[in-house]
Amino acid sequence: MLATAESCTGGMIAAACTDLSGSSNWFERGFVTYSDVAKTEQLGVAPALVAQHGAVSEVVARAMAFGAVRHSKAQVSVAVTGVAGPTGGSAEKPVGTVWFGFQVDGQLTSETRRFDGDRAAVRSATVVHALERLLHLIG
């Protein structure tokens, strides 16, 4: 079973999964944790991690992926946190920066990508990459 933990995509990964007929056989739930408080309350992300590293960071993406499995009946998760734009970017984390966290078979992995384009393009590319990478990890 799969659980998603989404910030910058606002539930788009869960929506893409549940667009598929039969997804109730493998999709358990989706967490939309757009705010830092939601990340803490729904996924158990420690506020200190967000304060120290920022919401858009490897450590937070990994904590989100871990929390999605811990707070669900799923065995697999994908988490995303990023800067979709057009505002909110910085020199360290420019618009288009997205961190991905995955938990598969008890193993946490993470990676970052930088996507070009407007807000819609960044969010769409995030969904595609998240699902393609997840399929690779479970395949």
Number of folded domains that form the chain: 1
Residue listed under structure tokens 């944790």: 33
Distance separating alpha carbons of residues 97 and 89, to the nearest angstrom: 8
Whole-angstrom distance, CA of residue 106 vs CA of residue 104: 5
Q: Which structural domain, as residue segments, surrounds residue 82?
A: 2-138
Residues 40-67 pLDDT 10s: 999 999 999 999 999 999 999 999 999 9
Provide the pLDDT for residue 31.
98
What gap in Å lies between CA 136 and CA 139, rounded to an integer? 5
pLDDT computed for residue 132 by the predictor: 98
| pTM of structure | 0.98
Average pLDDT, the chain: 98
Tell me the pLDDT band of 87, cut-offs 50, 70 and 90.
very high
CATH of residue 57's domain is 3.90.950.20
